Amino acid sequence: MIWISVKLYLIKKESAMKNQLKKIIHCVLITLILQSQVLSVQAAQVKFDENKKFSAVWRNNVYMITYDPNGGSGSMSSQQFKYDNDAVLAQNTYSRNGYEFLGWSTDPGATVPEYGNGQNVKNITADDNKIITLYAVWRDNVAPTVSKSFTTAGTSMGVIGDFNPATGRFDEYWQTCDVVVNFSAEDNVGITGYYLGKTNPLVSQVAWTDMASSKNLTTQKRIGLNGENPLYASDPSGTYYFAVRDAAGNIGVSTVEAQFTWVRGAANYSTNWKSIPNTNGYTHFAISYNHTSNCMYANYGGTTVSAPNAGVCDLVVNGGSANVKWDSIPDVQTSYYYIYYK
């Protein structure tokens, strides 16, 4: 009886499992059928859109701009730009003592900028993710400094030829009546040229003498007639400019002002002290004459110098007037020449 009950239980259990299995199989079949239908629908859609046109999607290349002070100081942030997009370079915030900012260049040694400060730019490069370094371009804006000193006994004078009464002049002159000046100049970068003449190089074009770049220059120049013949063909009086310039075009200037006066005739000589008026605050005085048989004297502020046998007298007068005299009165053809300068 028990065995029959167990067998019946097993039969029922088996039947339930079969039914459950059938349900699982049924569900799987339904799922497969549904998936097949979806695939068929998708295939039909693809087939339906087979003539559709597809467009490429593009992205602008991007590049980075960095700023190098190139000898200056400070800090600036980088900028990211897109290709084919307008952009504006950053305003410069770097500084450099003694220099003026001109702009930017991709060459660190450039003296002329490729881009201005805050310039509108576009497509500096076409390369994606490229880093471009822009270097600050600087211009030296410090002018060279120039100083001067005078060398005493810088004048001498002589006359060759006969006096011409018709013209009131001597026919020929041997003339080296000039001022000897020592000039010194220096520059923070380098002096590349110099000039000496009566034209102001700060306002007019002049002919420069080129030289190898040097931070220092020392030279001696003579200002006046310096062998010019004749004396009266060109009055050497006036302002002389000794100028130097550097590679950036900065100009430093020192000036010499000189008044040259030629005097002829016995009436202009004296054996007593004769004042030579200093009308322009000159600091130095020199006098030279062409007679070889007497002696000339010059005096200022208690200092007396003499020039025998056609010599030269030099004095520092610091704005005052010098006094001169001779030990005898020469003949009418004798002349003398004096210079006030500063």
Q: In the prediction, which pLDDT does 69 show?
A: 97
Q: Where do you find CATH 2.60.40.4270 in the chain? A: 62-140
Q: In the prediction, which pLDDT does 260 show?
A: 83
Q: In the prediction, which pLDDT does 160 show?
A: 45
Which helix (H) or strand (E) is 146 found in, with range? Answer: strand 145-151
Dist CA 61 CA 318 (whole Å): 75
Q: Is the Cβ–Cβ distance between 277 and 321 less than 8 Å?
A: yes
Helix (H, G, I), strand (E, B) or coil at 211: strand
Q: In the prediction, which pLDDT does 68 show?
A: 96
pLDDT in tens, 268-288: 888 999 999 999 999 999 887
- CATH code given to domain 62-140: 2.60.40.4270
Q: In the prediction, which pLDDT does 338 show?
A: 85
Dist CA 202 CA 197 (whole Å): 12
Q: In the prediction, which pLDDT does 3 show?
A: 45
Q: In the prediction, which pLDDT does 162 show?
A: 52
Q: In the prediction, which pLDDT does 327 show?
A: 86
Helix (H, G, I), strand (E, B) or coil at 236: coil
Helix (H, G, I), strand (E, B) or coil at 47: helix
Read off the DSSP letter of residue 113. -
pLDDT beneath 50, residues of the chain: 3, 6-8, 10, 38-48, 156-161, 172-175, 227-232
CA nearest neighbour of 152 among 315, 336, 297, 283: 315
Q: What's the predicted TM-score (pTM) here?
A: 0.67
Dist CA 79 CA 172 (whole Å): 76
Q: In the prediction, which pLDDT does 44 show?
A: 41
Q: Is the Cβ–Cβ distance between 151 and 87 less than 8 Å?
A: no
